[in-house]
């Protein structure tokens, strides 16, 4: 197993005053290790790390932006339905009704994507050995350099445990007879 770990820093926020820190990892298995993982069914064993998405990304539920998007989409639906009903009697308002309903749909989708990203930013990544066979790279977000070092150490420990599991699973013990 060959592991490459690098740390990087990115500017973030409006004007670049915020910093995000990431730990980038690449795990390459030898041919023998790949065979052990496949033949012994070790592909479901995983290492657990922090998310790759910066904490607080997205739109958290029950915050002002989330509530504004929720209210805005509902108001657009109500306005779209009202203009649709009025358009049935007056005519010529079908385009406005459809536009309002499409805006409501867009706001709804934008809010849901933001909520999912927010949840993912606080969730733990579980990176299986099988996934590492397919895609050997993964990234972990850290809010500061000290935590990046701590996450780096935790990744190293978990990869060492995974390596020990593969080594112990390489051979099946032969039959032994002994006395106690």
| pLDDT value, residue 90 | 84
Calpha distance 180→166 (Å, rounded): 30
Of the candidates 85, 82, 80, which has an alpha carbon nearest to the alpha carbon of residue 97? Answer: 80
* Residue segments in the chain with a per-residue pLDDT below the cut of 50: none
Where do the domains of the chain lie?
Answer: 2-50+124-169, 64-117
| pLDDT value, residue 101 | 93
| pLDDT value, residue 171 | 85
pLDDT tens-digit map of 80-114: 999 988 888 887 777 889 999 999 999 999 998 98
| pLDDT value, residue 17 | 83
| pLDDT value, residue 174 | 85
- The two tokens of residue 40 are 């012994």
The answer to pTM > 0.75 is no
| pLDDT value, residue 35 | 92
| pLDDT value, residue 165 | 93
């Amino acid at each position: 197993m060959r592991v490459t770990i690098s740390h990087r820093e990115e500017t973030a926020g409006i004007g670049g005053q915020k910093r995000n820190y990431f730990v980038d990892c690449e795990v390459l298995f030898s041919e023998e290790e790949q065979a052990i993982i496949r033949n012994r069914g070790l592909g479901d064993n995983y290492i657990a790390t922090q998310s790759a998405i910066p904490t607080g990304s997205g739109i958290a539920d029950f915050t002002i932006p989330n509530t504004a998007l929720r209210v805005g989409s509902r108001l657009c639906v109500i306005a779209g339905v009202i203009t649709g009903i009025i358009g049935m009697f007056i005519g010529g308002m079908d385009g406005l009704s459809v536009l309002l309903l499409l805006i409501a749909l867009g706001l709804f989708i934008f809010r849901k994507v933001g909520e999912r990203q927010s949840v993912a930013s606080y969730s733990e990544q579980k990176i299986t050995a099988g996934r590492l066979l397919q895609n050997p790279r993964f990234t972990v977000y850290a809010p500061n350099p000290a935590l990046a070092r701590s996450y780096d150490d935790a990744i190293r420990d978990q990869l060492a445990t995974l390596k020990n599991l593969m080594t112990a699973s390489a051979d099946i013990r032969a039959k032994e007879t002994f006395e106690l």
